[in-house]
Amino acid sequence: MCDCAEETKGGKGLLMVFTGNGKGKTTAAIGLAMRAVGHGFRVCFIQFIKGSWRSGEQETMGRFRGRIDFHVMGRGFTWKSDDLEKDRRAARAAWDKAREAIFSGKYQMVILDEFTYLLSYKMVDRDEALGVFSKKPQGLHVVITGRDALPELVDMADLVTEMREVRHPYKNGIRAQKGIEY
């Protein structure tokens, strides 16, 4: 097990939230993962909603085995769901994996991609999640992405960035593109 406080050079592990309707929340988290790995940190990256297709981030993260543990645990976007109960079970299993990673002592950064949706859709208990984040190890960085971050999560975070959409190609009929959206 690593001493997370030592690995972060005695720094405080931060709770960071990337939220808002604009594009770039997952991309920002991936950038932090790359920066952390560049400093020799171990990263656990868990995707909660995405899961029905192979993405560029899966391909990239797979090249950092041993430094990044990358887990796609969702069943795809919930608004396209064929079985919301299966989605809830997958979300719960992913949350169990996240809690384990947070308290394992194995990582210096844990990224919970699209986690805000689990709180908004009440797939994970809000009070339980906030309790876990408030008790995370001192030297561990936790990154949470997704739209509509709960005000309580925003209040407890050390860093919050809200991505604001100014223009998006979807509005001009341009579909999702490999290397840009996935």
pLDDT digits (tens, 9 = 90+) for 103-162: 999 999 999 999 999 999 899 999 999 999 999 999 999 999 999 999 999 999 999 999
**What's this model's pTM, rounded to 2 decimal places?**
0.88
Which residue among the candidates 8, 19, 25, 41 is catalytic per the annotation?
A: 25
Catalytic residue among 27, 60, 78, 161: 27
**Active-site residue identified among 77, 97, 99, 162:** 77
User: 112 vs 48, 81, 83, 96, 130, CA distance in Å?
Assistant: 7, 21, 23, 12, 13
26 is catalytic: yes
User: Is the predicted pLDDT of residue 4 greater than 50, yes or no?
Assistant: no
CA distance 117 to 149: 8
- What is the reported pLDDT for 76? 59
Higher pLDDT, 6 or 55: 55
User: Does the annotation count 79 as an active-site position?
Assistant: yes
What CATH class has 4-162?
A: alpha beta
Q: What is the pLDDT of residues 21-62, one digit of tens each?
A: 999 999 999 999 999 999 999 999 999 886 655 677 788 887
What does the pLDDT read at residue 52? 58
Q: Is 23 a catalytic residue?
A: yes
- 110 in Cβ contact with 64 (< 8 Å): no
Q: Structure tokens of 38? A: 């560049």
Higher-pLDDT residue of 83 and 175 is 175
> Which residues pair with residue 174 across a beta bridge?
none
Burial 127-151 (b: 16+ CB within 10 A, else e): eebbebbeebbebbbbbbbbbebbe
Helix orientation angle between 84-103 and 126-134, rounded to the nearest 10 degrees:
20
The pair of three-digit structure tokens given for residue 82, joined into one six-digit string: 């064929």
Say what the pLDDT of residue 54 is: 66
Which has the minimum average pLDDT: 47-56, 76-85, 88-97?
Answer: 76-85
Query: How many residues would you count in the chain?
Result: 182
Domain boundaries, the chain: 4-162
145 is catalytic: no
Name, in order, each residue with C-beta under 8 angstroms of 31's C-beta and a sequence gap of 6 or more.
none
- Map tokens 């064929």 to a residue: 82
Higher pLDDT, 25 or 88: 25
SS3 55: coil
| CA distance readout (Å), 137 to 7, 19, 36, 70 | 12, 23, 17, 20
Annotated catalytic residue 172: no
Tell me which of 18, 50, 75, 114 is the catalytic residue.
114
Q: What is the pLDDT of residue 116?
A: 96
